[in-house]
Amino acid sequence: MDYRKFLLKKAMIPGSLGFLGDLALQLAKFYPRPLDTFSLLLFAGDHGIHGEGVTYSPQEITWQQTRNFASGGGACTLFAKLNGVDLKIIDVGVAGSFDPSTSVIDRKVGFGTKNFLHEQAMTDKECASAIEVGRAMTRSSGADLIGFGEMGVANTTSSSAIVAALLDRKPEEVTDGGSGLSEPDLCHKIEVIRKGLAFHPRRDPLDVLSAFGGFEHAAIVGGILEAYTMKKPILLDGFVVGSAALIAAMIDPNVKQNFIFAHRSGMKGSGILLEALGCTKPILDFGMYLGEGTGALTAWPIVRQASHIL
């Protein structure tokens, strides 16, 4: 179908909707039906690299925030409720357990990853298990559109290491202060990543994932690959989710054709990452860097509206 002619039949001048029209045309190419349901899978996990002092936040925040989300707190829960999104909170690697009475879905692969300055963050077996968690959770979703969120103290350190390794970038090009690090502490964070890159020289995407990633990264990689297999559009969030998307795209470059880029994260290196993923213009550019899938949740109403144009 010539969708531009279809716009004319609807008395819409081609180009008059600007980027919204472009988004509608993009969606129509691989999913020519309206998108009315959106499922966001939020994976939570802890990171062994936290022990190197790369963040001011105590590791317990991961457990606390995950429980908070499941209890209806947090920006992700608010945005999901406002926009009618099916939000699932999944423990894939938090360094603590949750009472079964909570709505946290237990898919734990381990109680946090290891310190990547001394060993792989996760074994190859753990990595494969976390990838399968993401695949299985995605298969269980019946939504038209799939998105991913994350919670994990120190996961920006892991994400920066992944991006630097796969794109052959200097750590300082893709690393910032995250939760408000001072300049000396930011320099320390960059140096930790630099040492990690030297310690783990292999650059195969799965090797990089095992070396530096969190269990939440691996689950998101699996979820993206499964969503592509299911021919579902994938609404990408910010820097952390984007780093997992980069791994998925290097495993199977075809997945990029299903990507919808929710926003340009306020994190340093976001532009480099978006360019590598083939994004010329994300939907939003609000300077957001909260994570939790909040960028994707904010962009969802626009995506839904665009999908109904054609």
Query: What domain range includes position 223?
Result: 35-304
Q: What is the pLDDT of residue 156?
A: 97
Q: pLDDT tens digit string along 97-107?
A: 999 999 999 99
pLDDT at residue 29 tops 90: no
Global pTM reads 0.95
Tokens coding 266: 């306020």
Q: What is the pLDDT of residue 68?
A: 98
Does residue 291 form part of some domain? yes
Q: pLDDT tens digit string along 268-296?
A: 999 999 999 999 899 999 999 999 999 99
Least confident of 8-22, 105-119, 177-191: 8-22
Q: Within 13 Å, how many C-alpha atoms sit on residue 62's CB side? A: 30
Question: Based on the structure, what is the number of domains in the chain?
Answer: 1
In sign, the C-alpha dihedral spanning 211, 213, 216, 219 is negative
Least confident of 8-22, 117-131, 230-244, 245-259: 8-22
Catalytic residue among 126, 150, 172, 292: 292
Is residue 292 part of the annotated active site? The answer reads yes
CATH number at residue 199: 3.40.50.10210
Does residue 266 form part of some domain? yes
pLDDT at residue 10 tops 80: no
